[in-house]
Chain A
Amino acid sequence: MKSILKQPLVHFLLIGLVLFILFALVNNGKDAENTIVIDQSDLERTIATWEMQWNRPPTAEELTNLLKSNIRQEVFYQEALAMNLDHNDEIIKRRLSQKMEFLSNDLANMNPPTEEELRKYYSENQSKYLTPYRYSLFQIVFTADKSGRDYWTIAENILKEYSEVSIQDMETKGDALPFPFAFDKINEDQLRIQLGSDFAQSLRELPNNKWVGPIASGYGAHLVYISERTEPQEQAFESIKNDLFRDFEYEREQQVYRAIYEELKKRYKIEVDIVPTEIISDTFLIELQKQLNTN
């Protein structure tokens, strides 16, 4: 299959090249030096651009001004090119390098993944698509500004003293803070948002169905009773298909981008033309030359 397709490609490349040369020749003939031709397509483009922005055609005056400013830009642009001002311009370099990247992204996305490819991708990356830890829990908290500097010890003592009381009886033992006593089926990300990253992380290792603690959060010392913990679980393929599609496309963009760069770079030999000094040693320069010529 591949070898059959290869030939049309060559043909197309050749046709493209021929067309290009023709195009360039014709163009060169038309644009005599120091003549700027405003043709039908320039006019249409200018009007279309305006209409897109303003939802109406430009007035005669607006159109004239647009064309005037286009010409001003073109004149400066041409003169700047003639003066080689585009050479080694960092902005132009970045812009063009970015254009190449966008082009590479488009190439990568020309062929959307098939369902099979997506399933394969999922099986290779399953760990990235697990559901987060999820908890149902009760908590009370002791803070330094309300319980005083010994808030941690106070929390420990409360735990010792009341660990056998009913869950509800514990509710009033902590300091008043605007967090619920009971969290029902809250996932780890939500807990992180409310009580901080350390607290959420600590819960992973705690035993279920008993009061434990103190557990540190950004607010103080918590006593926690976990009634339910759901470990991360795999998700059904269908339910995350959009995510898989998105991530697959993105990864392939990166692969294609790297591959194109590596291929293009093969056309260049990097030479280091630097005289060694006390600071920049000869050995460094030799190593540098080697490094720069590998991808």
Chain B
Amino acid sequence: MKKIIILFCLSCFLACKQKTEETVVKDPENKVKGSRTKDYNPLKNPYFGQTHQHTGWSFDAAILDVKLGPETAYKHARGDKVTHPSGYEVQLKIPLDFLSVTDHSEYLGVLLQMYDPNNPVSKNPLAAPIIASGKDVDKSMKAFYGLVANTIQPDGTTKPDPDLSSPEIKKSAWKEMAKITDAYYKPGTFTTLIGYEWSSQPNMGNLHRNVIFRDTKNIPEYPFSYFDSEKPEDLWTWMDVQRKNGAELLAISHNGNLSNGTMFATTDSDGNPLNKAYAASRMRNEPLTEIIQTKGQSETHPLMAPNDEFAGFEIWTKPVAGPGVVKVLETNYVRNAYKNGLKLERKIGVNPFKYGVVGGGDIHTAIVSHEEYAHSGEHNLKSGTPHNRLLELRPGEPSKIEQGTAGLSCVWAEENTREAIFDAMARKESWATSGSRITVRVFGGYDFNTLPGEENWVEIGYKKGVPMGGDIPKNNNRKPVELMIWALKGPNSGNLDRIQVVKGWIDEEGNSHEKIYNVVWSGDRSLNEDGSLPQVGNTVNIPEATYSNTIGSAELKTLWIDPDFNSKQSAFYYIRVLEIPTPRWSTYDAKVLGIEPPKDFPATIQERAWTSPIWYQTEN
């Protein structure tokens, strides 16, 4: 081994580079293959992660210190202490299980790869000094300065070089991303997934999607960006092509709330009514949507759901860029998409909006920031400190106070590997949280004859029913749908207030409805006649930014039988778990600054989890 290395050091550095890499770094695939990891559980474990993380490689991340690239994000997510772009140290109290860095594809194409002689770029005369500089880093740097000098024309202008924007260069940035993603992957402990964000935004309507791959094998040469097309239909077609090439990938849409009605529109990008092929393509490629992220929740809006007392949660009102306010339209929101999906299914045969849910970050600092008590800002250095966030608002800027912490993406998977986590997302066995680590499980079916928490309840759940994201089998004997529901609070967060079932259905005339059921709750409260539940109380001391877990429950569970079940009505059911009120991040910030929390925003929030729905389809 040593001999080999010495030999290579004597040979030219290019050969040295390639060969030594092979000898020192094992093929990352070795890590992927092989036996199951230690915690493998056929009945599945809960895993918490982040599927939407930007770093300095996202070009809109106004982090001038691009050293906070994907490496920092992976280190921070797995629990290392790292330095925030604003200069202070951050460390997660509880590490995440998985992370996908999803930088904007439009800007991944900037790596200059001049050193590979097979790469046409290396024939660029500018590259010669660098290639020639050899092994010595000092000399490489001098060559670099030479390059800097050479690109400046005699007349002082710069000469853009067409070779430096060729496909070969784009390819290498993406390749570098794959290399880093592999380097931080530890099967059984920490999963990294390669992905990117497709940032289409026609007419300021947000149509963004994150695209995530099952592994780094057979990934495309470079990502499909909105420079290639702004239409999601084209993205899905491209994804189909990738699948034919042997890649496995899925898309996660986000910020329907900022889409001006386009995210869950009932027409395609050209204004035609949706058809079966469209619906099938959409669902084949895009099983998930972010129900919450820093730029607000997309579950529903108080205007859409006047009877939902918890709808007014983390509402974002500003466009991502530009002036004005966001249009509150029905087709922005996930719950309405579920309802429209049932209608469309009846009409065209396939439900185009049969989405599972995850929570997103969309934080651009390379730092996961999902806990209210440790928020470190979201979009740039300007929101990196409490002072930045609460006291430095300028007219025209998007409100920093409106922005929330990151949500979390959570899955039930057999083990913490790329394959298991990706597959859980693909089959929608996923839930979202507003940032805290609530664990929630649900099975839908008939005749469970057991209760959640009883011995073997999970086995029975899988055997006689389906988990979140599934379809309840046909109902031959007209029994009502049962849901076994169980939730556990996060170890470092507030107790649980209640569990709700959100049901939507279409009646025989094809009209859609929704109803929210309080199904289990803490303390000795009882339901009012209209089905509402008295509030859990509030222990938050706002000036001190503290709360106590003297109200609420650590764990809630119940077997719920749909009292309004009608076998002729297609329906969906999803679970919403609410925590007791705890301080919002802005209240923690206000305490640090010794000021009052911002007036126009709630000082306390009820963090929550949403599961992917379980669907019931009528036989006709």
Contact = CB atoms under 8 A, between A and B. Distances in A.
Given A104-B144, A115-B2, A195-B491, A219 B167 contact: no
Interface string A118-144: 100000000000000000000000011
Most buried by B among A9, A113, A114, A257: A9
A192 B110 contact: no
A196 interface: yes
A153 to B, nearest CB: 14
A112 B21 contact: yes
Most buried by A among B21, B146, B224: B146
A54 B17 CA distance: 33
B150 A20 contact: yes
Given A16-B146, A94-B62, A98-B66, A111 B129 contact: no
Contacts of B176: 102, 105
A70 B291 CA distance: 37
B171 to A, nearest CB: 8
B471 to A, nearest CB: 27
Interface residues of B, number: 89
A260 B17 contact: no
A143 B489 CA distance: 12
Contact of B1 (A9, A115, A198): A115
Nearest to B79: A189
Nearest to A149: B550
Contacts of B228: 53
Given A111-B135, A218-B491, A246-B184, A193 B95 contact: yes
A17 interface: yes
Interface in A169-195: 176-178, 189, 192-195
B87 interface: no
A178 B141 contact: no
A106 to B, nearest CB: 7
Given A55-B245, A115-B2, A245 B24 contact: yes
A234 interface: no
Given A8-B132, A254-B67, A256-B137, A102 B144 contact: no
B553 interface: yes
A95 B104 CA distance: 13
A207 to B, nearest CB: 24
Interface in A10-58: 12-13, 15-17, 19-20, 22-24, 27, 45, 48-49, 52-55
Given A53-B228, A102-B173, A19 B125 contact: yes
Given A16-B126, A254-B67, A115 B95 contact: no
A178 B549 contact: no
A270 interface: no
A264 to B, nearest CB: 7
Interface in B378-408: none
Contacts of A189: 79, 95, 189
A146 B453 CA distance: 15
Contact of A48 (B5, B26, B66, B167): B167
Given A149-B550, A193-B94, A107 B144 contact: yes
B153 interface: yes
B145 A49 contact: no
A294 B20 CA distance: 38
A103 B133 CA distance: 14
A156 interface: no
B605 interface: no
A269 interface: no
Contacts of B183: 242, 246
Nearest to B80: A128
B167 A45 contact: yes
Contact of A108 (B125, B137, B146, B241): B137
Contacts of B305: none
A241 interface: yes
A22 B132 CA distance: 19
Contacts of A257: 67
Contacts, number: 201
A101 B115 CA distance: 16
B150 A16 contact: yes
A103 B150 contact: no
Contacts of A54: 238, 241
Interface in B105-136: 107, 110-115, 125-126, 128-130, 132-136
Given A97-B64, A107-B130, A112 B24 contact: yes
Nearest to A250: B71
A264 B148 contact: yes
A103 B173 CA distance: 11
A217 interface: yes
Nearest to A253: B67
Contacts of A102: 110-112, 173, 176
Nearest to A145: B553
B552 interface: yes
A260 B555 contact: no
B218 interface: no
Contacts of B201: none
A164 interface: no
Contacts of B95: 189, 192-193
Given A149-B550, A192-B95, A217-B491, A94 B59 contact: yes
A125 to B, nearest CB: 13
A283 to B, nearest CB: 24
Contacts of A106: 111-115
Nearest to B30: A242
Contact of A199 (B17, B113, B166, B491): B491
Contacts of B166: 45
Nearest to B96: A193
A236 B11 CA distance: 30
A241 B112 contact: no
Contact of B17 (A8, A16, A110, A145): A110
A239 B31 CA distance: 12
Given A5-B134, A45-B167, A192 B2 contact: no
B136 A2 contact: yes
A99 B110 contact: yes
Interface string A189-225: 1001111111100000000000000000111100000
B129 A13 contact: yes
Contact of B495 (A12, A94, A145): A145
B554 interface: yes
A219 B491 contact: yes
Nearest to A176: B453
B82 to A, nearest CB: 12
Contacts of B189: 189
B306 to A, nearest CB: 32
Interface string A248-260: 0010111011011
B492 interface: yes
B17 A111 contact: yes
Given A13-B143, A242-B183, A52 B13 contact: no
16 contacts: A5-B134, A9-B132, A12-B128, A13-B143, A53-B238, A54-B238, A98-B57, A105-B176, A106-B113, A110-B115, A143-B554, A192-B94, A195-B491, A196-B491, A259-B141, A263-B141
Given A19-B125, A55-B245, 17 more contacts: A5-B136, A16-B126, A16-B129, A115-B1, A143-B554, A144-B495, A144-B549, A144-B554, A145-B522, A146-B554, A178-B555, A192-B93, A192-B94, A194-B491, A198-B492, A218-B549, A242-B26
